[in-house]
Chains A and B, each alone.
Chain A
Amino acid sequence: QKEVEQDPGPLSVPEGAIVSLNCTYSNSAFQYFMWYRQYSRKGPELLMYTYSSGNKEDGRFTAQVDKSSKYISLFIRDSQPSDSATYLCAMTQGGSYIPTFGRGTSLIVHP
């Protein structure tokens, strides 16, 4: 079992839909959680980061962490075609630990 599991998709939704992207993990020591967006042939761009359980909102994006279930989510409201990209989750114990990345979920928002 991989430390971080993420469904590669693709996930195809119509414009305006609410998108839910998820990752599960097995290491209960993970404390910091991040979401990155990667457009084709580009480097990942940091979208959200959270510490421990709870929700964090930034514009149309909401990151949610449930440590008891070892489950994190990224919600995108009013999705746009420009949101079409691969979304990678990442998490770490902090300190000198290097983040562990999920394999990414490909999202397609069609007009």
Chain B
Amino acid sequence: GAVVSQHPSWVICKSGTSVKIECRSLDFQATTMFWYRQFPKQSLMLMATSNEGSKATYEQGVEKDKFLINHASLTLSTLTVTSAHPEDSSFYICSAEPKTSGGFKNIQYFGAGTRLSVL
């Protein structure tokens, strides 16, 4: 259980185009989904937190208009990198926190990540 599917796993695009990344929780409902960015040999950098049906909360320094997040349902969140530029090239990872009525909280289950290369 607790599988998070992230698609695509790798995308190459031209500078100026937009790229959409999907994150789905396959076997559970996610109260909250998270989007991270990770540079080589670095830890996860939280970009934004999204709750179903409400606007995402962005971390300081993350451009809202650049990284559009939509959390349309309890199992799907999308990240759109708008007008991508080479400096946006990175590894983007989503995670989902199960909707739970008790027990251990704050566990995040991660997708496999998306490698974005902007030419």
Which residues does chain B contribute within 8 Å of A104, judged by CB atoms? Answer: 43
Given contacts A32-B104, A49-B104, A95-B105, contact A43 B110 (CB under 8 A): yes
Size bracket, chain B contacts:
20 to 34
Does A94 contact B106, Cβ atoms closer than 8 Å? Answer: yes
Does A103 contact B105, Cβ atoms closer than 8 Å? Answer: no
**Bound complex: CA A41 to CA B114 (Å):** 9
Number of A-B contacts (CB under 8 A): 55
**Bound complex: CA A46 to CA B106 (Å):** 12
**Bound complex: CA A44 to CA B111 (Å):** 8
Residue of B nearest to A91 (CB): B106
Does A102 contact B43, Cβ atoms closer than 8 Å? Answer: yes
Size bracket, chain A contacts:
20 to 34
Which residues does chain A contribute within 8 Å of B91, judged by CB atoms? Answer: 41
With a 10 A CB-CB cut-off, give which of B43, B46, B105, B112 has the most chain A CB atoms.
Answer: B43
Whether, in the assembled complex, B76 has its beta carbon less than 8 Å from a beta carbon of chain A, the answer is no
Does A32 contact B105, Cβ atoms closer than 8 Å? Answer: yes
Min Cβ gap A89→B in Å is 10
Which residues does chain B contribute within 8 Å of A90, judged by CB atoms? Answer: 108
Does B108 contact A99, Cβ atoms closer than 8 Å? Answer: yes
A-B pairs with the 10 shortest C-beta distances?
A43-B110, A103-B43, A92-B106, A43-B113, A44-B110, A43-B112, A43-B93, A43-B111, A101-B44, A101-B43
State the B residues within 8 Å of A (CB): 2, 4, 6, 34, 41-44, 46, 49, 91, 93, 95, 104-113, 115
Given A45-B110, A46-B109, output 11 extra A-B contacts at Cβ < 8 Å: A32-B105, A41-B91, A41-B113, A42-B112, A42-B113, A43-B4, A44-B44, A44-B110, A46-B107, A95-B105, A95-B106
